[in-house]
Structure 1
């Protein structure tokens, strides 16, 4: 009968609320639905596993919120980049990584005074199970192109804002982000392919590490919608497969304008933000896989 568990952390001020929501947004949490009522609002963040633990004796951490991760150093680096993005030093806000007596590594972060969170991972990450190779969420040193359609600009402009927000929060430099505007979703794939074709290898002249595609198709009353969507999806997928450059898919396919608005940041998160996060992770994963191949072949 139990479905889930939620930890509610009150924010004393609107600024505290915004800082905490911003902090957790860059660490890889899946955004929840949250709420926004007359008397209160809530920013929700989801994790695959939730535990309620009762402790008898010494607490394992200085805080009652412990967040298990699989790549502790990468999470700590993302937290450091968040503080730097706020124009703040990390001294006193992020602790060094420490070993525990329960065979784990842990650090604490305090994005707002009085709100301390602990992040930890097992010292033996395998613990009898195979571990996956995953991308990190730090965009520092990466180069991106964003191809955004102008059609349905009330939606695509919000998607573009979300994508830029994700990249900059994750450490990307403004000079390393190229924005290309095309008339509509139909033209997105062609522009993405042109950009990918000038990037035969990572690091080449004019190259990018990933391309983020943004657009919006609303069904209406004709089959025109499905014909365009199928070709746009095919073109973006083909460009990615044939060039090897990651393409993040942020082209919305919606039944109504209201549904599109919800997916552009009103209720269901911002799909432009999510596409940018996926692009960052795929670039990181690509580099890890290539490094592994090179090290094994050496």
Structure 2
């Protein structure tokens, strides 16, 4: 039923209205459709979000008109230039008792606005279910290809590092070695169907230069792993590298740009936690 909220402020002259409007435009307010009637004039300035806040048990914040911004220091610079030219009062940026920073500016006589920015990094972030990077008594399986072992062994060490750092016990980690990437989906599916494991980590590498049917194999490997995850309900972390050269694969296995095995291990832990919170397979 409620569509919006508007605060109407009367100013002395149209000149003052235009001067105040210049501040709002400089700060990024959207100019609404104004009106002019019988010598009078109105100019709405729109913000993306409006709130009506009721307070009991303590003194409300001053002033009562508050504008939340995303870059307070930048807004202060704009307001400072405007206030200097308009001859209006401006207070310095100060910390508040509600975990924010605030400054005020007198827009017109009798009307002061407060501009504020929260110092809470989670302020305004929608609440969401997220996974915890902690392993508590869960079992994990790692399916790793032997082909290009110089790469896959590095990936395996990365996954083990992720699991052990997160609290997994060595005896709760099952490692299954398969000949190559092609065989990974079959082994992953067999492990997932046992329902013993909170997550399956799949590790392998495909090099375009070494495999003429590179894309066909990759598509089937990716499809098989995804299908196993969907049909068994057990999270599968995808750690199969697809690279042009051996050098690129080495870089992705911890040499230069992170270890894909470690990333896959972390993803498996997080997804297992999310699934547990959502009431899925444990």
| TM score, norm. by length of structure 2 | 0.57
The one of 195, 213, 224 equivalent to 2:202 is 213
1:279 aligns with 2:268: yes
Secondary structure at the counterpart of residue 160 of structure 2: helix
Instruction: Show the counterpart of 1:146.
Output: 142
Which structure 2 residue ranges, 5 or more long, are not aligned?
Answer: 1-70, 74-91, 101-118
Instruction: Show the counterpart of 1:194.
Output: 190
Deviation at 1:140, TM superposition (A): 2.4
1:258 aligns with 2:247: yes
Instruction: Show the counterpart of 1:268.
Output: 257
Structure 1 221/159 Cα, relative in aligned 2: closer, same or farther at 3 Å?
Answer: closer
Deviation at 1:223, TM superposition (A): 3.7
Instruction: Show the counterpart of 1:246.
Output: 235
Q: Distance in 2 between matches of 1:284 and 1:197?
A: 19
The one of 221, 224, 227 equivalent to 1:232 is 221
Deviation at 1:131, TM superposition (A): 1.4
Cα deviation code 1:203-260 (max 9, x no counterpart)? xxxx000000000000016541111111000000000000000000000000000000
Instruction: Show the counterpart of 1:130.
Output: 126
Structure 1 101/283 Cα, relative in aligned 2: closer, same or farther at 3 Å?
Answer: farther
Larger radius of gyration: 2
Q: Distance in 1 between matches of 2:158 and 2:148?
A: 16
Q: Distance in 2 between matches of 1:122 and 1:193?
A: 44
Structure 1 101/142 Cα, relative in aligned 2: closer, same or farther at 3 Å?
Answer: farther
Q: Distance in 2 between matches of 1:150 and 1:228?
A: 16
Task: Give the length in aligned residue pairs.
Answer: 175
Q: Distance in 2 between matches of 1:57 and 1:185?
A: 59
Structure 1 134/101 Cα, relative in aligned 2: closer, same or farther at 3 Å?
Answer: same
Secondary structure at the counterpart of residue 269 of structure 1: coil
The one of 181, 185, 205 equivalent to 2:181 is 185
Q: Distance in 2 between matches of 1:213 and 1:137?
A: 18
Which structure 1 residue ranges, 5 or more long, are not aligned?
Answer: 1-50, 61-99, 105-120, 200-206, 292-298
Q: Distance in 2 between matches of 1:185 and 1:179?
A: 15
Deviation at 1:52, TM superposition (A): 12
Secondary structure at the counterpart of residue 279 of structure 2: helix
Instruction: Show the counterpart of 1:65.
Output: none
Q: Distance in 2 between matches of 1:282 and 1:210?
A: 8
Which is further off, 130-139 or 261-270? 130-139
Structure 2 counterparts to residues 63-78 of structure 1, below 5 A: none
Moved over 2 A (4+): 100-104, 127-130
| TM score, norm. by length of structure 1 | 0.54
Q: Distance in 1 between matches of 2:262 and 2:214?
A: 24
1:156 aligns with 2:149: no
